[in-house]
């Protein structure tokens, strides 16, 4: 993954580690898509999404007004997404289930598709969560040996 060797998530803690990981994976996932590595790009962006959700939910200040039902496990990305939509943090326009199905395919085969709608959907969620925009110059430089 694009963050290996660039950050120590544990040392950064839950307030910064997942945010930095999400941003690194946004950058890396988009680069992979531009290179035509569609499946790898989708997998990387899925990790970015998971990290962004983890980061958002790590703050008591951000979660104080969420509408969470008893028994909901916010460690599950789809559940977290539903809670954030229900709580009006996210607008719900991203088809999470379709993206998850695409991710499952990407794990087992190299896909050939137009990545533009995927990037637009991920960008929308990341902007709504406050992960984007960000200055790529503030991120550690990419490792050229990364896939």
Q: Answer whether 123's CB lies under 8 Å from 30's CB.
A: no
Q: Answer whether 115's CB lies under 8 Å from 33's CB.
A: yes
Q: Answer whether 26's CB lies under 8 Å from 122's CB.
A: yes
Can you say how many angstroms the Cα of residue 54 is from the centroid of all Cα atoms in its chain?
Answer: 9
The series of mean pLDDT values per 10 residues for the chain, 147 residues long, is: 50 70 92 94 96 93 92 95 97 96 95 93 96 76 62
**pLDDT of 115:** 92
């Amino acid at each position: 993954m694009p963050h290996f060797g660039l950050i120590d998530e544990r040392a950064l803690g839950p307030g910064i580690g997942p945010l930095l990981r999400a941003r690194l994976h946004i950058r890396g996932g988009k680069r992979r898509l531009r290179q035509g590595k569609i499946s790898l790009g989708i997998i990387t962006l899925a990790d970015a999404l998971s990290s962004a959700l983890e980061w958002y939910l790590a703050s008591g200040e951000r979660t104080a007004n969420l509408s969470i039902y008893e028994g909901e496990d916010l460690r599950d990305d789809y559940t977290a997404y539903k809670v954030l939509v229900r709580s009006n943090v996210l607008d719900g326009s991203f088809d999470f289930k379709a993206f998850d199905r695409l991710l499952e395919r990407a794990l087992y085969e190299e896909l050939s598709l137009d990545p533009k709608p995927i990037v637009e959907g991920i960008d929308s969620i990341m902007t709504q969560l406050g992960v984007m925009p960000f200055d790529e110059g503030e991120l550690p430089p990419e490792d050229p040996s990364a896939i």
